[in-house]
Structure 1
Amino acid sequence: MLPKEKSKYKKNGNDLAFLFFRHSRVIGAVMVVLFTLFMVFEKKDDFTSASYVLPSFEGKSYMDRGDYIYSSRVGSTSGKTSRVKAAMVVLVRDKDLYSLVDAIKQVEDRFNKNFNYDWVFLSEALFSDDFKEVTTALVSGKTKYGLIPESQWSYPEWIDQKRAAAVREEMRKAEIIFGDMESYRHMCRYESGFFYRHPELEEYDYYWRIEPDIKLHCDINYDIFRFMKDNGKKYGFTISIHEYVSTIMTLWNTTKEFMAEHPEHIHENNMLDFISDDGGESYNNCHFWSNFEIGDLNFWRGEAYSAYFDHLDKAGGFFYERWGDAPVHSIAAALLLDRNEIHHFNDLGYFHNPFHQCPIDDVVRFENRCGCDPALDFTWKDFSCGVQFYTVNELKKPDGWVGHVG
């Protein structure tokens, strides 16, 4: 080979090396892509098997054995799908708007977006336009805004206001929760005896009480009001608890007076054994936590409950002590209703500070996309009355409930 030809090939060889070096990164990237595609197609089954599929729980829940009504499976026994006359009811002040917003979204997202029930907001003061605009924008049903009459948010003529003020001061010194709050007492009296009489609620038969800052942990995929109507339920709850004795010192004696005067109003299949451990001699302080309650408005409007509230109101315990609407409603439901008309919504996840209801049954929790820790469930704890409710009604408790006691 001539020297000139050697020089030409040498130069071309350097050019080839240079080009290879210059494009080596591109070539390497292409090789990585080809290798990855090869692995994907060759190992497709391995990648698929890495995903987790929730096992079937069909037939594995204690609720599948017919021991207790599991509302989200029973649904409407009549087969009807039309809405009933019902609404969400909120007793709230204008200033609480943005602590209420999340609660509304919880109820709408977990339940009402599928059913479009109305919302009724009640207050002792007028709502602002801002409150009305924000709440109306958040809900799927209609909104109504009711002003509470002054006569229902003030002292009745038979109350000694100086005595009532002295009681509040004593409770303040004793550090009794809400003991010194005047407005709290008006609220409890109003919830006990007046909310269901408001003109904005006249067209409805059922209500769901909602409060600011509550949370719903689980989806509610059935019409909860239709369930109440079709299954003959008049009072529904999630959390039950013992009341503070110091707030209701004379409530039970006043109730016993009513029972003696009006035996015709006490239901023959009542649930006295839920609220008393000694046949009615004393009150064990068990009550349904009324920050969540779903009920029949016509029960409160009826003759029996009206007579009971009037008897309590004349006794003055809403102001001379600190009677809450929760024990008042609970005692009334236990005495005036058939025990079968009271329902524990065991499939609902609910939170009101500081207590949770979180279904401990896996089926309930997974089927309803509950976002809560069952270890926090209050239903079976010592201070709860959940065990009492299930025991006196001879209801099957969920598997593993004992592990949640304490």
Structure 2
Amino acid sequence: MIFGSEPEFLEVTDNFLPFSKMDLATERDRPFHPNCVNTQNYLLNSSYTKQNASFVMLTRNEELKDVIKTIHSIEEHFNQWFHYPYVFLNDQPFEEHFKAKVLDAAMGAHVEFGTIDEISWNFPSNVKDSFEFHNAIENQGDRSVLYGSMESYHKMCRFYSGLFYKHPLVQKFEWYWRLEPDVEFFCDITYDPFWEMFQNDKKYGFTIMIPELYWTVPNLFRYTKSFIRQEGVKLRSLWKLFTKDYDIFESDDADLRNWINSGVDARAKVSEKIAIEQLLKKGAESRSINDDKEGIMNLIKKARSKKHIVEDKFFNEEYNLCHFWSNFEIAQLSVFDNDIYNSFSNIWRKVADFGKRDGETLPSTP
């Protein structure tokens, strides 16, 4: 690929196109804008309305240098035009030096600093001092799970999966854009993603989706399925994005349904069953079965084989380990701050905390 000094001099080789030249639209969705827009005209458009939104960053005093790097980058590439406020959260009070440097870097944008309370940040004392807690963290470290042996990382994950949206400073807003220290934006974002998501009825945006490591979430699907069942949660189409469906073979034969766990199993198992049925039919009719070598071999094969057990298969479904990287998510608070998610978050936090408080119950597993 050869680049000239202007876009029109771009030459494409090896059938490769830059993303800016690709049509990324699908039947289901399309980008808000395929290329940069004229930001000044965009802001002056009478239909545009700035949203009740904020950046949210969880950080520590000692990460000041990395925080400033992120602010400079997002201001240069987006917020110099849109002027959205910032919320910084810390489990310890922010130092005055930290606040002053951040305010200076924010180029006049409104900034608020908040402290996370002990209950929201820390594991209960009966948990964090227990053998099970330290053993679970060491187990992830032994399995080479990235950051798995760091207690602070587990606190961060726990906070962002359940209680960040309850913080009073975050509750002021309808939308949030999560930022991290020490990140850099390489392209100008010339439109307002909050406004575009509102206009297009989008509630959650993310940057990347990859497979999770099983040993970071060994019980997640079990308790999620249990919660869905007990609460009667109505699942929508997005659920299929995260699950393996084992209900792939329609038959009145329960044995076949249980044995066939994938499409590649179907032909062999059906052929095996037909061969065995033919063999047994010959025996019932008192005909010689000695010459039916195929039937005999299939019968022996089935007698010797063991049913494939999928430990995390519940109601013919299993978690396929796909997950969003939430580091740079943009979302409406209502995605989390609702009756269903609040209830689920409370239950899962108790499960993650290795127990329950007096008078509380946990969902039974399927």
Q: Same fold (TM over 0.5)?
A: yes
> Structure 1: which 5+ runs fail to align?
1-50, 321-406
Shift of 1:254: 1.0
Task: Identify the residue that residue 298 of structure 1 maps to in structure 2.
Answer: 334
Task: Identify the residue that residue 377 of structure 1 maps to in structure 2.
Answer: none
Matched, 1:218 2:218: no
Distance 1:67 1:52, change over 3 A: farther
Q: Percent identity?
A: 31
Instruction: Describe how 1:174-193 pairs up with structure 2 within 5 A.
Output: 174-193=143-162
Task: Identify the residue that residue 72 of structure 1 maps to in structure 2.
Answer: 33
Matched, 1:55 2:91: no
Q: Tell whether the 8 Å contact from 1:104 to 1:139 is kept in structure 2 after alignment.
A: yes
The correspondence for 2:204, drawn from 228, 232, 235, is 235
The correspondence for 1:153, drawn from 121, 125, 139, is 121
Alignment partners' CA distance in 1, 2:222 and 2:85: 39
The correspondence for 2:133, drawn from 161, 164, 168, is 164
Alignment partners' CA distance in 2, 1:294 and 1:65: 21
Matched, 1:285 2:246: no
Alignment partners' CA distance in 1, 2:5 and 2:112: 46
| Residue type of the alignment partner of 1:230 | Q
> Structure 2: which 5+ runs fail to align?
11-19, 247-315, 356-366
Q: Deviations over 1:132-156 (max 9, x none)?
A: 1111111142000000011111223
Alignment partners' CA distance in 1, 2:125 and 2:67: 34
Q: Secondary structure at the match of 1:146?
A: strand
Matched, 1:197 2:166: yes
Task: Identify the residue that residue 72 of structure 2 maps to in structure 1.
Answer: 105
Matched, 1:128 2:95: yes
Q: Secondary structure at the match of 2:245?
A: coil
Q: Tell whether the 8 Å contact from 1:237 to 1:289 is kept in structure 2 after alignment.
A: yes
Task: Identify the residue that residue 32 of structure 1 maps to in structure 2.
Answer: none
Distance 1:64 1:183, change over 3 A: closer
Q: Deviations over 1:220-251 (max 9, x none)?
A: 00011111111111110111111111111111
Alignment partners' CA distance in 1, 2:335 and 2:33: 24
Shift of 1:213: 1.6
Alignment partners' CA distance in 2, 1:99 and 1:88: 16
Alignment partners' CA distance in 2, 1:222 and 1:107: 13
Distance 1:281 1:62, change over 3 A: same
Alignment partners' CA distance in 1, 2:137 and 2:57: 26
Shift of 1:195: 0.9
Alignment partners' CA distance in 1, 2:165 and 2:218: 27
Distance 1:276 1:79, change over 3 A: farther
Shift of 1:67: 6.9
Q: Secondary structure at the match of 2:244?
A: coil
The structure having more radius of gyration, on CA atoms, is 1
Q: Tell whether the 8 Å contact from 1:127 to 1:145 is kept in structure 2 after alignment.
A: yes
Shift of 1:304: 1.4
Instruction: Describe how 1:310-389 pairs up with structure 2 within 5 A.
Output: 310-316=346-352
Alignment partners' CA distance in 1, 2:21 and 2:322: 32
Alignment partners' CA distance in 2, 1:216 and 1:319: 39
Q: Secondary structure at the match of 1:112?
A: helix
Q: Deviations over 1:4-38 (max 9, x none)?
A: xxxxxxxxxxxxxxxxxxxxxxxxxxxxxxxxxxx
Alignment partners' CA distance in 2, 1:137 and 1:70: 34
Q: Deviations over 1:322-341 (max 9, x none)?
A: xxxxxxxxxxxxxxxxxxxx
| Residue type of the alignment partner of 2:85 | D
Q: Tell whether the 8 Å contact from 1:86 to 1:225 is kept in structure 2 after alignment.
A: yes
Q: Secondary structure at the match of 1:166?
A: helix
| Residue type of the alignment partner of 1:237 | F
Q: Secondary structure at the match of 1:271?
A: helix
Alignment partners' CA distance in 2, 1:62 and 1:56: 20
| Residue type of the alignment partner of 1:147 | T
Alignment partners' CA distance in 2, 1:117 and 1:60: 30
Normalized against structure 1, the TM-score is what? 0.60
Shift of 1:91: 0.4
Q: Alignment RMSD, CA only?
A: 2.7
Q: Secondary structure at the match of 1:108?
A: helix
Q: Tell whether the 8 Å contact from 1:240 to 1:287 is kept in structure 2 after alignment.
A: yes
Shift of 1:174: 3.2
Normalized against structure 2, the TM-score is what? 0.66
Choose 278-287 or 293-302, whichever is displaced more: 278-287
| Residue type of the alignment partner of 1:71 | F
Q: Tell whether the 8 Å contact from 1:158 to 1:314 is kept in structure 2 after alignment.
A: no
